[in-house]
Amino acid sequence: MLHSPQIRLGAMLTAILLLSGCSGLQEAWEGPGAKGFAPQAIAVLPPMASQYDSAREDIQEVLAVALRRQGHIERVMLPESVTDIFQSSKPAFDSLVFYFSRLEMTGQSDKDSAMALGKALTVDAFLVVRVNSWEYIRKEGDNVGRVGLSLRLVDATTGTTVWKARHERSNSYMFFKPNLKDIAKELALEMISYMPPQPKN
């Protein structure tokens, strides 16, 4: 009898965790400044190099569209404009290369190169993207189209990571392969819906 309230509480917590696991992202982390983060302008950086480099342009595009559809940020930079700046400005390109290399080596956002990227792109936030999967596979006896992403939201005024997440989405099929870009659109919208800034109630 003495332990029954603790047992009930444990069962409730387990149920809450299971429910949140079903509806949430595979992995998500928020920094201490996430709640009050309200950038005015954001850019989606070219996705980091991976074995799925053929998907980079599509992913950059669908994420920019998803950010615009959320409507929480005043200006979302067009992917073409981001590419133009890195192609026309050597200092901007060098900052991008240095930022990515430091992120690969340390797992941390480098403050100086992040702030340099913000100035070059004239934004106060940017999204770092890695494509984890972009493929057709066999999974548990089914044909599946699968797209997976890791995202990192960086405050370009301070160089700090505000939020990061990892998630994937897959569609099974029998005869006709689903378009991976369409799966990516659904995934991008889902992930961005969890990203700060959240709409005010």
The count of domains in the chain is: 1
Q: Within a domain: residue 143?
A: yes
- Taking the alpha carbons of 11, 14, 19, 20 in that order, is the dihedral positive or negative? positive
Q: Within a domain: residue 9?
A: no
pTM of the model: 0.86
- Smallest CA-to-CA distance from 46 within 36, 56, 54, 37 is with 56
For 135, the domain range is 26-192
Cα torsion 58, 150, 119, 162 to 10°: value is 140
Q: Within a domain: residue 8?
A: no
Q: Within a domain: residue 55?
A: yes
Please report the pLDDT score of residue 201 as a whole number: 54
Single-letter amino acid, residue 200 = K
The DSSP result for 50-118, as a single string, is -TTGGGHHHHHHHHHHHHHHH--SSEE--HHHHHHHHHH-HHHHHHHHHHHHHHHHHSS--HHHHHHHH
Please report the pLDDT score of residue 200 as a whole number: 61
Tens digits of pLDDT across the chain (201 residues): 444 444 444 433 333 333 333 349 999 999 998 989 999 999 999 999 999 999 999 999 999 999 999 888 999 999 999 999 999 999 999 999 999 999 999 999 999 999 999 999 999 999 999 999 999 999 888 999 999 999 999 999 999 999 999 999 999 999 899 999 999 999 999 999 999 987 665
Q: Within a domain: residue 13?
A: no
Single-letter amino acid, residue 157 = T
